[in-house]
Amino acid sequence: MRTLLLFGDSNTHGTMPMPDLGFSGRFDRDERWSGRLQKLLPDWEVIAEGHPGRTTVHDDPVEGAHRNGLSVLPALLESHRPVDVVLVMLGTNDLKERFSVNACDIALSLERLVRMILSSAAGPGNAAPGVLLVAPPPIIEVGCLAGMFAGGAAKSRALTAEIKAAAARVGVPFLDAGQVVKVSPIDGIHYDAEANPALAQAFAAAIRTHFPG
């Protein structure tokens, strides 16, 4: 059985759209796209490593340095090795106003993460895992998270093309999640329930296509 590691943020964690900042709802395990993906890929072990607030390479001065994806990735690769494929879907939290980074820099940060995976020995036989790089859908500035992500919507609309270019530079497959799902109008960041089966189907198809075994 091969191993698929899902490296992401709250939308990999299964966080529900937030009506207020104190909300902590999470979709049930079988309802999350990660749980559905496991059922669609019975010959894979699907490991969901989604951390709400996770950034690509930034220590978060408000929510904590432990949300830095670059810092935790080596440990995750080692703890789950051998890892055949890593699905990377990050970048949304980098759009927070506090980080002051543009779409190009977010894509370059994702490229750095992918290069770390490709230079690791975390795959079978001490080889590198494969990578599927995913561009998250554009956000909208609405609801309780609008202030936190002020100015992020415009940057997010430029992000897909930048991430696609980054995937080409490092030679890994790319998927545009914005062609599959949209963010919820409740908070503009997270996905409604109907996004889960759509994402699971899209990711399953991409894994079968690019990593047939």
Mean pLDDT score of the chain: 98
Phi-psi group of 158: left, alpha or beta (phi > 0 → left; psi -120 to 50 → alpha; rest → beta): alpha
Whether the Cβ atoms of residue 180 and residue 202 lie closer than 8 Å to each other:
yes
155: containing domain? 2-210
Please report, for the domain that includes residue 23, its CATH number. 3.40.50.1110
**Number of separate domains in the chain:** 1
pLDDT band at 213 (very low <50, low <70, confident <90, very high): confident
Mean pLDDT of 42-68: 98
Q: Let me know: does 124 contact 82? Beta carbons within 8 Å.
A: yes
**Confidence (pTM):** 0.97
pLDDT tens digit string along 103-117?
999 999 999 999 999
Distance CA(145)–CA(50), nearest Å, equals 19
Confidence of residue 88 (pLDDT cuts 50, 70, 90): very high
Q: Tens digit of pLDDT for each residue in 157-185?
A: 999 999 999 999 999 999 999 999 999 99
